[in-house]
Structure formats: C-alpha cells, structure tokens
Amino acid sequence: MKILVLIGNVPDTTTKIKFNSEKTALDASGVQWIINPWDELALTRAMELKENSAGAIEMVVVATVGRQETEATLRKALAIGADKAIRIDTEPKDGFYVASQLAPVAGGYDLIFAGIEASDYNGAAVGGMLAELLGIHSISSVSGLQLEGGQITINREIDGGSQTVKMTTPLMAIVQKGIAKEPRIPAMRGIMMARSKPLEVIPAIEVDVLTSFESFSLPPAKAACKKVPEDQAKTLIYMLRDEAKVL
C-alpha cells in the first residue's frame, strides 16, 4: 500500500503579510516558509499509519508544486519520515493548475491526503479537483482516519456532531484539524536521513491558468478595545446590541 501526502509551502503563520506595490502579489521578502499546517498533520497521520501497519504500508510519498525554494519544506517532510519527495517545477498559480500538475504523478496510490485548505490563499480546492482528475472518491472535513485491512474508517466533523464513514481505496482524504494530535517534530536521525532520501524534480506540464489575482487588501486594523467599568453592565449590553450588533 502506498500513501501520497500533498504538501503546500506557505508563509509561517506568524508572518506579517505585505504585498507588492501593485497589490497583486505577496511580497515574499523575509518570509519564513513552512509546511501548510493541515498538510503537516496529514503527514503525521500518514507516518502513524505506516508505523502501525506492520509493513502493509510500504511507502509514504510527499508531493508539492513549486520552485526550488520549496525544497526546504519538502526536506522537512522527509525528515519527519516521508520516504520520497516529488517537486513539480513551476509556480503554483491556482487550485486547478496545481491539481492538474499533480494528476500525472498522483496515480497508483491507495490513499492520498490533502489538507482541507492552505493557510495562505485558503482556496480549499486542490484535494477535490485532484480526486476528480484521477477519477477516485474523495471525502472532505476528515478529522480521523483508521485503517484496517483494506477498509478505511473516517470520522468527519459535521454541523452539530460527527459522522463515521466507511470507505475503500483508492481514496482522497481531505483532512482538517484532529486528523493527528499534533504535527510531528522531526528527530535528529530523520533530519540526517533526509539528505539521502530521493527528491525527484519533475517538469511542469502545459495547463491553462484559469484565474488571475486582481488585487489584495489587508483586513482593517483591529479597533481599539473599549473598556466598560464593572458596575455598568447595562451599558455593555447596549453596546453589544447597538454598536457591535452581536445580540
């Protein structure tokens, strides 16, 4: 059995976001790049599954669409435990473009993990699109995944509760928080071994770019906090109703 984990290369979640002067792209200077947090959890779960599979899972592969600078992120994934990394050498322009680039390398896996969205553009599109291109089942909002024999049991968070679903392979699992407890920290041994693991670079294929970014804007600065003296609870209620309109 083989697992593929899709890896997004995103700015560290504490990055102060800036744009270029035309406001059409992120100003990436000084940005620290990390594995998309949902993808990191997916990889952690994939490693747990492999370790508990008594050899049934032979391989965990990670794949990303990006230029050479994304290799640090892939090598971290190798240090965490992935056996092999694939990088498709092009800019990840939009969800469909990325899914189309991944499709030629994503065949033949029993289970594919995608994070529910990337923490940069929050497109939440690649997993579903790739499943469609591959012609396999996909299931989203996965917050738990168990593997027994060929049978996959999935837990999903749904409105007001949770749902348990049985699925068979091949499957695209689009995962969210809960899929693994915490992202795995790479051990020294893993970091050392990452050097000698294969990192395959594949040229991009021709795909039409269907979207273009017109402009970005930052959210408004947080308004100053208003303090209500403790003996004026009524004022607070009025403010919540009339000004904040949350009541």
Partner 1 sequence: MNFNFSEEQIMIQQAARDYAQRELIKDVLERDATSTFPAQHVKALSELGLMGMMVSPDYDGGGMDTVSYVLAMEELSKIDAGTSVIVSVNNSLVCFGLEKYGSEKQKEKYLKPLARGQKIGAFLLSEPEAGSDATSQRTTAEDKGDYYLVNGTKNWITNANSASTYILIAQTHPEKKHKGINVLIVDKDSPGISLGPHEDKMGMRSSDTHSVMFTDVKVPKENRIREDGFGFTFAMKVLEAGRIGIAAQALGIASGAFERATSYAKERKTFGTTIGNHQAIAFKLADMAVKIENARNLCLKAAWLKDQNQPFGVASAMAKQYAADIAMEVTTEAVQIHGGYGYVKEYHVERLMREAKLTQIYEGTSEIQKIIISRKLLK
- Contacting residues toward partner 1, per CB under 8 A: 72, 75-76, 79, 182-183, 185-189, 191-192, 194-195
Residue with smaller CB distance to partner 1, 23 or 195:
195
Helical (H) or strand (E) element with 189 = helix 188-194
Q: Which residues contact 61 (CB under 8 A, 6 or more apart)?
A: 2, 3, 4, 5, 82, 83, 84, 85, 86, 109
Pair 65, 101: CB distance under 8 Å = yes
User: Cβ 75 to partner 1, closest distance in Å?
Assistant: 6
Please state, as a whole number, how many other Cβ atoms lie within 10 Å of the Cβ of residue 87: 23
Residue with smaller CB distance to partner 1, 74 or 173:
74
User: Cβ 34 to partner 1, closest distance in Å?
Assistant: 9
Residue with smaller CB distance to partner 1, 77 or 114:
77
Residue with smaller CB distance to partner 1, 224 or 247:
224
Residues facing 175 on adjacent strands: 115, 142
Nearest to 63 by CA among 109, 13, 120: 109
User: Cβ 185 to partner 1, closest distance in Å?
Assistant: 5
User: Cβ 189 to partner 1, closest distance in Å?
Assistant: 5
